[in-house]
Amino acid sequence: MKRTHVLSFEMMPPRNKSTIASFWSCSKQLVALRPDFISITYGAGGFDYTSSLKVITKLVDDTPIIPIAHLTCIATPKSVLEETVDAFLDAGVRMFLALRGDEPKRKLLAAEDDEKLSSSAQLTHLIRMLDKKRFRKSAKNKFTTIARPLVVCVAAFPNGNPVTGTSVEQEIDKLLEKQDAGVDFAITQVYYSARDFDNFMKKASRAGVQIPILAGILPSWEPARLLEAQKNIGVQAPEELLRSLESAMTEEDRYEIGLQFWTDLASAALESGAPGIHAFTFNKPTPPTMLAQRLGLI
């Protein structure tokens, strides 16, 4: 039976040698689900893309899955970004997730006059400009561009961005800027309220946002995992959900509570017009697999 909604996953490159085996085991299980794409997060601090590049190159070479390369731009010299984009394009990457990113803890050394980008819209312009330059260089590049058009997606924030302190309305304005810059679709940050997502979709549509918006879902029934995500992205996990998970009598009960919560949230997103879901996996294959099964996506 043909899947009627998009199914995609996010994975993080192995942080050290001890996690390489588990990463590829997870990847194998997720690839077997035949997702529409798998996105690979950027290197530590937004400076070192080598681990991400290695993973994506292997996915391009060895699997039928389309990989999306994350790319952040804040505080990174334009020359470094150009080098990074070219490296991904050389590896066969045709899809990017263009992100502003967080302010880094350390600054990358650069010349005084080295330009820096400050938004994902600017990064989108840069990626497309570099791809057009490659198009003009050779017949092979022209064929690649025609056969496999470049796709750029961005983040969306149903509750505003707690990191930058922006409101929902401000984020919708930014989404319109990204749309004007030529992005193809968006993926939401983690959220916990079906009503918030539905309101965001309606407001975005009224404002003129026309690009598809995938619902970003974090299927986990581990309180520690949700608190870790809360710390990293600033989106508060519901106290009621955390209490229910923590007070579950058995592991099976905790699993069912969490899975039901995320299934309901994802189902509501599809009903609100999301073309599909993007599951943040934390390199754990079981939760996103069970979610996709519950939703009838596999």
Read off the CATH number of the domain in which 77 is found. 3.20.20.220
The parent domain of residue 105 ranges over 6-295
Q: What is the enclosing helix (H) or strand (E) of 123?
A: helix 120-135
207: which 2 tokens? 């404002």
Determine the pLDDT at residue 147.
85
| Alpha-carbon distances of 90 from 120, 140, 153, 202, 288, rounded to whole Å | 22, 12, 19, 39, 31
Q: Would you write out the chain's pLDDT as a tens digit for each of its 298 residues?
A: 578 999 999 999 998 889 999 999 999 999 999 999 999 998 644 456 788 999 999 999 999 999 999 999 887 889 989 999 999 999 999 999 999 987 655 554 444 456 788 899 999 999 999 999 988 888 777 788 888 899 999 999 999 999 889 999 999 999 999 999 999 999 999 999 999 999 999 999 999 999 999 999 999 999 999 999 999 888 999 999 999 999 999 999 999 999 999 999 999 999 999 999 999 999 999 999 999 999 999 8
Q: Which amino acid is at 177?
A: E
pTM of the model: 0.93
Determine the pLDDT at residue 122.
95
Alpha carbon distance 173, 169 (integer Å): 6
12: which 2 tokens? 């993080």
Q: Please give the sequence-ordered ranges of beta strands (E in DSSP) within the chain, or none if there are none.
A: 6-11, 37-40, 67-72, 95-99, 151-156, 185-188, 213-217, 276-280
Determine the pLDDT at residue 296.
95
CA angle 108, 54, 38 (to 5 degrees): 100
Q: Identify which of 73, 285, 292, 99 has the alpha carbon closest to the alpha carbon of residue 189.
A: 99
- Report whether 9 contacts 39 (CB < 8 A): yes
Q: Show contacts of 228-232: CB within 8 Å, 24+ apart.
A: 229/190, 229/280
Determine the pLDDT at residue 45.
46
Alpha carbon distance 263, 13 (integer Å): 26
Distance in Å from the first CA to the final CA of the chain: 9
Domains in the chain, number = 1
219 belongs to a structural domain: yes
1 belongs to a structural domain: no
263 belongs to a structural domain: yes
Q: Identify which of 59, 61, 43 has the alpha carbon closest to the alpha carbon of residue 51.
A: 43
Alpha carbon distance 288, 262 (integer Å): 10
